[in-house]
Structure 1
Amino acid sequence: MALMNNGQVLIVAGSGYDATVTNFEAAVWDPRTGTISRQSLGWDMFCNGMVVLPDGRVFINGGNLQYHPFRGEPRNSVFDPTTGQFTDLENMAHGRWYPTVTTLGDGSVMTFSGLSETGSTNSTVEIYRVGSGWSPEYESGWIPPLYPRMHLVPDGNVFASGPMAETMTFDTASKTWFGVASTNYNRMRTYGSSVLLPLSPADGYKARVMIFGGADPATATTEIIDLSAAAPRWQYGPPMSQPRIEMNATILPNGTVLALGGSANDEDASTASLNADLYDPDTNTFSSAGANAFPRLYHSNSLLLADGTVAVLGGNPLQGMYEPHIEIYSPAYLFNADGSLATRPRITGVAGAIAYGSAFAVQTPNAADIASVVLVRPGSPTHAFDQDQRLVRLSYNAGSGVLNVTAPPTGNIAPPGYYMLFVLSSAGVPSTASFVRLTADFSLSATPASQTVLPGGSTSYTATVAAGTGPTGAVAFSVSGLPSGATAAFTPASVNGSGSTTMRVATSLTTPLGTYPLTIIASGGGLVRREAVTLTVGASVMTMPGLP
């Protein structure tokens, strides 16, 4: 499931853990009206990976090709919240069932793990870019667990925090993995959860990751690692009130983490963990967050909504058995000490799009009482882990009826796309969120406009990226429209912010003669730019001096 920028929630069930189901389904739930709209799918997206692309469409990665034994789909799709329609995208090299997808700092999406179409674990990384499709496969050299817990961290790399005991990092530049540290628990934290704790400019966006529970029988332990340390290592955090497998962990606008659901024994409602816990990173303590009414086991989720409440839903302990109730958790920050509703600050105006590193204005009549401004990336949880949630605190100063706020500096801190913007009062009460799009801008040009080459020969073009508002981070290049037998290579393959690349086009002796329109594509910061050039394959006509 995923929260979309219209405040609605996309739920993709597919066959819903029932091998007899052939009508694969998805639904859109509107928390404001309580309505649920169902629709059929063209293929089984059950147990996919899901994130929201920078343009607001929901990206669905892989799914179920076969039950018993399970095999993974190579297909992918996007759901457009504007049209309400699914559209299939380019296939991956191999299938993935139970993959993890992670939005990178340039807006591309990394997928890892999952069962392939043959039923083996897919140990490669692939990276998807809107407009240019999938990268080559990058072999990891190790066999990952299914649904690994992965986080983009501020250095641009991706940290895999579990559920395995030996945690790893993927270097997005070299496309290689390296070990980081072993957990103290030193066992598989199966269906435990993991959260990248809030990032803040006050401490240089220090990256700390916390892992919760997991294993069967489950543990109540937690651990925290500071990835900014010279030699990062895991340290035990405070224990939760109950052991949890199949749990969920959701970041709230005030930076605390709601840990709830699961059970002591996997898929056993008689050992359900109904007591919710609230972790405070500032004090490194848990406090009680009440209790939910229904066991939340396998295939349960929790999701922060734009009004600051948390939706708790699902549960599928046995094939064909489902928990239909949706619960809404209202955190204590929404109430006064006497139980009455707290007065909430209001956002009365903000730009729909903000650029990296730029100043932007948030209109609010409560400016003098605002103690915190945050961006929260809409969540997309599945199988005890939210694959895209993060909270970034923003620096600001208050004026008369306005907050002058500075956007995050790079996509590695806050990947491009839509965020919920919350302002919080001095009492810690959050506003209802306004959705804003964090983005950058750049232009693309190419010279010369046309080139002629003989079959078997090569030629080149220069493509240049010029940065506009805000840093774009890495901008990668690709080309479409090449004739058969022709290849293209970019040197360098990407530029950081601004710069030029040389596109060398090589033809073969069998490349057909003709004139071909090529499209050079540059993608970065969640944006895609295209520039047209022409390639003519054939003998050029030479004009001799003195001849007409």
Structure 2
Amino acid sequence: MSAVRYLPNPSPKARKAALSTGCVLALLAANGPAATGFAERAWHQYAVNQPAYKAGYGHWDVVDVPARFRVNAIHAALLRTGKVLLIAGSGNDEKNFRAGTFRSVLWDPVRNTFKTVPTPKDMFCAGHAQLPDGRLLVAGGTARYEKLTGDVDRAGGAMLVKNENPDAPRAFPAGTVFTGSTGKRYRSQVPVLVPRAKKEVSEHGKGRKKKKKVRVTASQARVYVEAVTAGESGITHTADQYRIQGLRGKDGHDLYGLAAKLGLDKKDFQGLKDAYEFDPIAERYVPVDPMSEARWYPTLVTLEDGRVLAVSGLDDMGEIIPGKNEIYDPRTHRWSAGPNRYFPTYPALFLTGGGRLFYSGSNAGYGPADKGRAPGLWNVETNSFVPVPGLPRQDMTETSASVLLPPAQDRKVMLMGGGGVGESHESTPRTAIADLSVPSPRFAPGPDLPQGTRYLNAVLTPDDRVFTTGGSRDYRGKRGSDILRAQFYDPARRAFRTAAAPTVGRDYHTEALLLPDGRIAVFGSNPLFADKDDTRMGVFEQRIEVYTPPYLYRDRRPALPSAPREAERGGVVRLPGTDPRQKVTARLMRPSAVTHATDVEQRSIALTVGVRDGALTVTVPEDPSLVPAGWYMLFLTDRAGTPSRAAWVHVR
């Protein structure tokens, strides 16, 4: 669609200034559609670049990215250095996956410089969270690409490797061959470690008749296998026991494989167990303890004590994890078991009052329509889940956006847009708001979006608004359905206001985030097709587009606060160099880490403003469920809604 259709009405001043251009348009219209189209584009470019238009609607600019730094941005995270980490991994390109070509790029939006970062694993479709010390935790990713029925040339599936030896574990490398009773052979695709068997000794009887009884319970580990022989001859329809190549005698007896059906049906993506911390100062990935479960499409959410909960995802067999969640401790760099609860992939989970997590119902990609869709409040400590009612059509929350509305003290979460499960053509314009501050929260309808929208990106701004942009009406932009439209949501007025239209269509695999200077950057887009008839394959969008909001086109903005680098929860922070006479509000804004329209990191926290010793002060709330430890952007915003540049503050 042409951006011209979404051009907000220019001000009367802009229309008057462009009157002569309109006359030219009329003359050109007589010379044919091509001339008219050219003239319309010229008018559009003229109108959106007028000062009055920018002050009313903002402005979009495409960033000049050198060719060698262009990546298929699947993930975007703002670091405490002000740089943006763009993670592609294999970038949804199986050729890159097979070649082991995994990419990450650091972008400095101030200097507009780029740097390639060595990327050790395929972090495509991983999860991520900001850690208390400013590092970024990245966990999971891709171990195998999806294969559709008809493209699968070797039968495969899950093999349970059993160990009946209680004295020693056993490791098997990738490529280990398992042979069944019929002679069919299957080869493991990844290494597998099988723990030692469990040995229990008990005594029975009394006196001389007392006897010891030893009970051994076999351990097991699961590994994905594929047939050595291609085609239908590799299919096995019945359960069987498999010998492990190279084992003899007692080892051959104690160690073996078990599998049910191994077929040529569809094979979903498989996850990784690997986890890394990205160091924003050294600008490199540092390996940490791997997860116990492989995860692809997981959500990582920060808890009130600074630990991180990993939820959902596809496992090492390509199956959705039935509820095995785990917790990362950044002090020990290790994982432990978390509460067992099922969610669809990339569930939107927000830390809220009392340390509970609110599941809004937003999710992306995988999971049945009738399971795990109900929103609710989850107590991670007790593993209790209280549904939050009021949201109809819970099967329409896939690919929706959810945000913790500003300021975070209001404890309100808004769900926007979304669509049907899987590759559904359905989308919805609805929004809904849950007020979590009341004893019995429930969703209430909000104002509709201009049209049904999947993959909407939503970004909090320092003036207590939510900027939304992009998306598509159909699944992955099918039928030319990308939406070249943007708007601001004002929570105080419960209304949307039109913003300047972007020039680049964005749907699946798009990210947007707030920069420290108050602008908003948008990355990625992975449409299936490149035309309205869905006849030409789509190309991953590698352009970066930056939106400058109207508040940055005003004459003056508050001075950058000279904030200390450290702050305590519940403490008063003096801001040297500020004018105590200026009337401003103050917000701590947590930097984004976003993928698949899922950003559970961003939050905007209102600070109490005061005066001390000739300078402004701000008071940081004490509640760790409101202000989890970490690095924040501190913005001062004047009465007109114009923000300062951000100062980085480390809240302990």
Tell me which interval the TM-score lies in, with the shorter structure as reference length.
0.7 to 0.9
Measure, in 2, the Cα distance between the counterparts of 1:348 and 1:194.
Answer: 30
The answer to whether residue 111 in structure 2 is matched with residue 33 in structure 1 is: yes
Mapping for residues 394-473 of structure 1, pairs under 5 Å: 394-398=607-611, 401-439=614-652
8 Å Cα contact 1:372/1:423 also seen in 2: yes
Q: TM-score, normalised by structure 2?
A: 0.64
Distance 1:108 1:62, change over 3 A: same
8 Å Cα contact 1:246/1:266 also seen in 2: no
Aligned partner letter, 1:42: P
1:210 to 414, 421, 437: 414
Measure, in 2, the Cα distance between the counterparts of 1:253 and 1:185.
Answer: 33
8 Å Cα contact 2:488/2:498 also seen in 1: yes
Aligned partner letter, 2:432: E
8 Å Cα contact 1:165/1:182 also seen in 2: no
Match of 2:272 in 1: 73
Measure, in 1, the Cα distance between the counterparts of 2:400 and 2:490.
Answer: 19
Aligned partner letter, 1:60: V
Distance 1:217 1:366, change over 3 A: farther
Measure, in 1, the Cα distance between the counterparts of 2:110 and 2:569.
Answer: 31
**Deviation larger for 393-402 or 89-98:** 393-402
Match of 1:328 in 2: 546
The answer to whether residue 347 in structure 2 is matched with residue 138 in structure 1 is: no
Deviation at 1:401, TM superposition (A): 4.8
The answer to whether residue 80 in structure 2 is matched with residue 9 in structure 1 is: no
Match of 1:476 in 2: none
Deviation at 1:312, TM superposition (A): 1.2
Larger % of strand: which? 1
Give the secondary-structure state (helix, strand or coil) at the position aligned to 1:349. Answer: coil
8 Å Cα contact 1:77/1:86 also seen in 2: yes
Measure, in 2, the Cα distance between the counterparts of 1:229 and 1:112.
Answer: 26
Q: TM-score, normalised by structure 1?
A: 0.76
The answer to whether residue 497 in structure 2 is matched with residue 298 in structure 1 is: no
Aligned partner letter, 2:283: G
2:402 to 179, 194, 197: 194
Mapping for residues 200-349 of structure 1, pairs under 5 Å: 205-215=409-419, 216-268=425-477, 270-318=480-528, 321-336=539-554, 342-349=555-562
8 Å Cα contact 1:2/1:379 also seen in 2: yes
Give the secondary-structure state (helix, strand or coil) at the position aligned to 1:162. Answer: coil
CA deviation map 1:117-147 (0-9, x unaligned): 111212222111113311224211x3x1110
Deviation at 1:335, TM superposition (A): 2.0
Deviation at 1:242, TM superposition (A): 2.6
**Deviation larger for 156-165 or 114-123:** 156-165
Mapping for residues 92-131 of structure 1, pairs under 5 Å: 92-122=291-321, 123-131=323-331
- Segments of structure 1 that go 5 or more residues without pairing to the other structure are 337-341, 440-548
8 Å Cα contact 2:390/2:444 also seen in 1: no
Measure, in 1, the Cα distance between the counterparts of 2:407 and 2:561.
Answer: 26
Deviation at 1:435, TM superposition (A): 0.5
Match of 2:230 in 1: none
In our comparison, the structure showing a higher alpha carbon Rg is 2
Deviation at 1:320, TM superposition (A): 7.6
Deviation at 1:182, TM superposition (A): 4.8
Measure, in 2, the Cα distance between the counterparts of 1:5 and 1:363.
Answer: 21
Aligned partner letter, 2:412: R
Deviation at 1:257, TM superposition (A): 0.3
Mapping for residues 173-188 of structure 1, pairs under 5 Å: 173-188=381-396
Give the secondary-structure state (helix, strand or coil) at the position aligned to 1:291. Answer: coil
Larger % of helix: which? 2
Measure, in 1, the Cα distance between the counterparts of 2:591 and 2:526.
Answer: 24
Deviation at 1:260, TM superposition (A): 1.0
Aligned partner letter, 2:413: V
Give the secondary-structure state (helix, strand or coil) at the position aligned to 1:29. Answer: strand
CA deviation map 1:204-247 (0-9, x unaligned): x3311000001042111100011122221111100112321111
8 Å Cα contact 2:272/2:296 also seen in 1: yes
CA deviation map 1:332-390 (0-9, x unaligned): 11123xxxxx3111134211000010111113444322320000000011001212000
The answer to whether residue 376 in structure 2 is matched with residue 168 in structure 1 is: yes
Give the secondary-structure state (helix, strand or coil) at the position aligned to 1:368. Answer: coil
8 Å Cα contact 2:561/2:636 also seen in 1: no
8 Å Cα contact 2:77/2:84 also seen in 1: yes
8 Å Cα contact 1:347/1:363 also seen in 2: no
Distance 1:364 1:243, change over 3 A: farther
Aligned partner letter, 2:273: P
Higher relative contact order (CA 8 A, sep 6+): 2
Mapping for residues 500-515 of structure 1, pairs under 5 Å: none
8 Å Cα contact 1:249/1:385 also seen in 2: no
The two structures, once aligned, show a CA RMSD in angstroms of: 1.6
Measure, in 1, the Cα distance between the counterparts of 2:579 and 2:522.
Answer: 31
Aligned partner letter, 2:646: A
The answer to whether residue 135 in structure 2 is matched with residue 60 in structure 1 is: no
Give the secondary-structure state (helix, strand or coil) at the position aligned to 1:44. Answer: coil
